Amino acid sequence: MEEFIVTVDGPAGSGKSTIAKIVAAKYGLTYLDTGAMYRMIALYALENGVNLEDEKSVEAMLENTKLDIVGNKFFLNGKDVSEEIRTPEVSGIVSPVAAIKAVRVKLVELQREISKGKKTILDGRDIGTVVFPNAQVKIFLVASPEERARRRLNEYKEKGIEADFESVITSIKERDRIDSTRKESPLMKADDAVEIDSSVMTIDEVVQAISECIDKKVN
């Protein structure tokens, strides 16, 4: 099977994973949530009190973390952490973890390995710019911070996690700032990516817009 890569990059809460899952099902693509991989490393750092300023501690952490993805389940050293990686505590520490070069080197390699020779849709921040600069289809999905905060708050509510609008929007803006200004692979639209603003569109409309981009490449 020939490799076919669709990348969906954009800020936290722009709807990347919701949309990527639907598009994956529609076209029979494997879906890879790369943010979840950074979240697994962040969870390990949180649980083990890893000093992120210390290079040796970071190296040891990367040697001691085995990540496995089976369907939509995420395993950290054999333990299913699919729920734990979505908590506000992990969201609060994941951006600084994702800014560390050694962390990115390990995860980018893993992302390329998982997608090798497959038809895959990946969502993240640097997929179209760094991980797969030659991807067939590149999407940059954006939405206003207010809309993104509302969506995150709803997700937390559904899971019974307590949170308020102000703290969620503050955390989203802070993550945007760190993700966009970091030295290593900042959040950035690839020159050849198609930008879609999901604040003013329904899920179906976004899926339709991405489908048109895919159909152009396939047909």
> Toward ligand DC, which CB reaches closer, 44 or 126?
126
Shorter beta-carbon distance to ligand DC: residue 123 or 210: 123
Residues within the interface to ligand DC (CB under 6 A): 12, 34-35, 38-39, 94-95, 98, 124-127, 175, 179
Identify the three-state secondary structure at position 216. helix
**Between 43 and 213, CB nearer to ligand DC:** 43
* Contact by Cβ (8 Å): 9, 139: yes
- Hey, which residues does 142 pair with through a beta bridge? 197
Contact 67, 110 (CB under 8 A): yes
Q: Which lies closer to ligand DC via its Cβ, residue 91 or residue 213?
A: 91
| Shortest spacing between CB 195 and ligand DC, in angstroms | 17
Which token pair is 198?
């999901």
Which residue type occupies 58? Answer: V
What the block records as the tokens of 58 is 């970071």
Q: Could you tell me the smallest distance in angstroms from the CB atom of residue 35 to ligand DC?
A: 2
Which strands sit side by side in the sheet containing 137-142, from one edge to the other? 30-33, 119-124, 4-9, 137-142, 194-197
Question: What is the closest distance, in whole angstroms, from the C-beta atom of residue 67 to ligand DC in the complex?
Answer: 13
- For residue 39, the minimal CB distance to ligand DC (Å) is 6
